[in-house]
Amino acid sequence: MKHFLFLLLFGFNQLPATPDMRVVSRVVDGDTLWVTRENGPDEKIRLIGIDAHEIRDTPTKKAGFYGKEASAYLRKRLLGKKVRLEYDVRRYDRYRRTLAYVYLPDGTFINAEMVKKGYAIVLTVSPNVKYADKFILCQQEARRNSAGLWGVKIQ
């Protein structure tokens, strides 16, 4: 009976939530993708904590350095694959995109991988800072190893 009361009072909020598993239906660029919904239209996801340069000019931004490479890498890694989404404090950005950390079934943390391989840089926007320190370490490692955009010599 004591164990039941303990679980009732303290344990239920500690139980893991059901993982939010989705299939990637489209990759927009190196930090934005679409995932399927079980009932309804696909959902646009913006990777939290990172920024990959644009692949084409938009009304607010110019196409950026290493953007096409980042987009191609993310497409190769995720398109058609099942991923797990994890959310932080703020669920949507001002463009109504869902903000998420993305994981492959084997546990690969895609947001961190994009930074570590030099396809994206750290972009921390409060209050979604859960993995900010991890991303900074990944970026330092990418720079040390001249990974991705950090290894390109500009003439």
pLDDT tens profile 120-146? 999 999 999 999 999 999 999 999 999
Domain definitions of the chain by residue range: 19-148
Of the CATH numbers 2.40.50.90, 3.30.750.24, 3.40.630.30, 3.40.50.800, which one belongs to the domain with range 19-148?
2.40.50.90
Q: Is 54 a catalytic residue?
A: yes
- The confidence band for 54, taking pLDDT boundaries of 50, 70 and 90, is confident
Integer Cα distance of 44 and 27 in angstroms: 9
| Catalytic one of 22, 77, 97, 113 | 97
Of 78, 68, 16, the residue nearest 47 (C-alpha):
78
Higher pLDDT, 133 or 15: 133
Q: Give the rounded percent of residues in the chain with a pLDDT score beyond 70.
A: 88
Q: Is 86 a catalytic residue?
A: no
Q: What is the mean pLDDT of residues 20-32?
A: 96
Q: What is the mean pLDDT of residues 64-76?
A: 92
Q: Give the pLDDT of residue 38.
A: 86
Average pLDDT score, the chain: 88
Q: Which residues of 105-118 are buried (b: 16+ CB within 10 A; e: fewer)?
A: eeeebbbbbbbbbb
Q: Is 144 a catalytic residue?
A: no
| Catalytic one of 22, 54, 69, 77 | 54
**What is the tens place of the pLDDT at every residue in 82-113?**
999 999 999 999 999 999 999 999 999 999 99
Of 153, 152, 120, the residue nearest 136 (C-alpha):
120
Q: Give the pLDDT of residue 106.
A: 97
